[in-house]
Amino acid sequence: MTPRVSIVTTVFDRVNCLRRCLRSVQHLQYRDLEQIVVSDAPGQPVISEIAQVCADAHVRHLDLPIRTNDWGISPAMAGLRTSVGEYVCFLSDDNAYLPNHFGPLVAALDADPDLGFVYSSCLYAGRKELRYCPPVGAGVDLGQPLFRRSVLRDQFNDNLPAQGCFSWDWELINALMARGVRWQHVDETTFVFRLEAYPGLVEALA
């Protein structure tokens, strides 16, 4: 069966971070999903390590043909284009989901077919929580939203706006809002930005 949720995980050579990230996904209560890991053409030893971690976690691994080093934009687009879920999200290798992340987000999208994306609140780098509503620049991370897959296809033809832009996560969200795409905030803190800043969570995923 086709999974309902596709998680696109971009990895920039950080194998230990990736291992914890994948474990956070394995701990999710919601299981109707696929995870696609996309690496940015590292050297062969790192590719081999990433491939082994992905094999151990039973997730798909793609590797770009050449190094792009563009803040994860090219890996994210490659993963988006191969994803098959009705809903899609982006999870960087150094971030994580808490076990109850997807249930409320999927329920919100299911309840309102006119919503283009929904997003949770965020534990941010051990310093604060992001729970901005509406979304604001520097106040929402790409890992928080769950997007309706068809919206990204219809609005951007599976390209991502703000090519070469460090803040491309905000540019994507802002572009959707500017085009009138409806959204909803689910104020549950279920996304973790910079997992290493939360030693207790790191230990739980060791």
Write the pLDDT tens digit of every residue in 72-92. Answer: 999 999 999 999 999 999 999
- First-to-last CA distance in the chain? 31
Cis peptide before 134 (omega within 30 of 0): yes
3-state secondary structure of 201: helix
Per-residue pLDDT tens digits for 132-179: 999 999 999 999 999 999 999 999 999 988 766 778 889 999 999 999
Going by C-alpha positions, the residue among 102, 87, 91 that lies closest to residue 2 is: 87
* Poorest-pLDDT segment among 12-16, 49-53, 160-164: 160-164
Is residue 56 scored above 90 in pLDDT?
yes
Overall average pLDDT of the 66-74 stretch: 93
Residues above pLDDT 70, as percent of the chain: 99
Report phi then psi at 34, rounded to 5: -125, 155
3-state secondary structure of 110: helix
CA 80, 83, 88, 89 dihedral sign is negative
With contact defined as beta carbons under 8 Å apart, do 158 and 80 qualify? yes
Per-residue pLDDT tens digits for 185-199: 999 999 999 999 999
* Separation of alpha carbons 111 and 92, rounded Å: 28
pLDDT score for 165? 78
pLDDT score for 164? 64
Average pLDDT, the chain: 95
Class of domain 5-204: alpha beta
Number of residues written out for the chain: 206
| Residue 144 token pair | 């928080």
Residues above pLDDT 90, as percent of the chain: 91
* Separation of alpha carbons 100 and 84, rounded Å: 22
* Separation of alpha carbons 29 and 41, rounded Å: 32
* Separation of alpha carbons 35 and 60, rounded Å: 6
pLDDT score for 167? 86
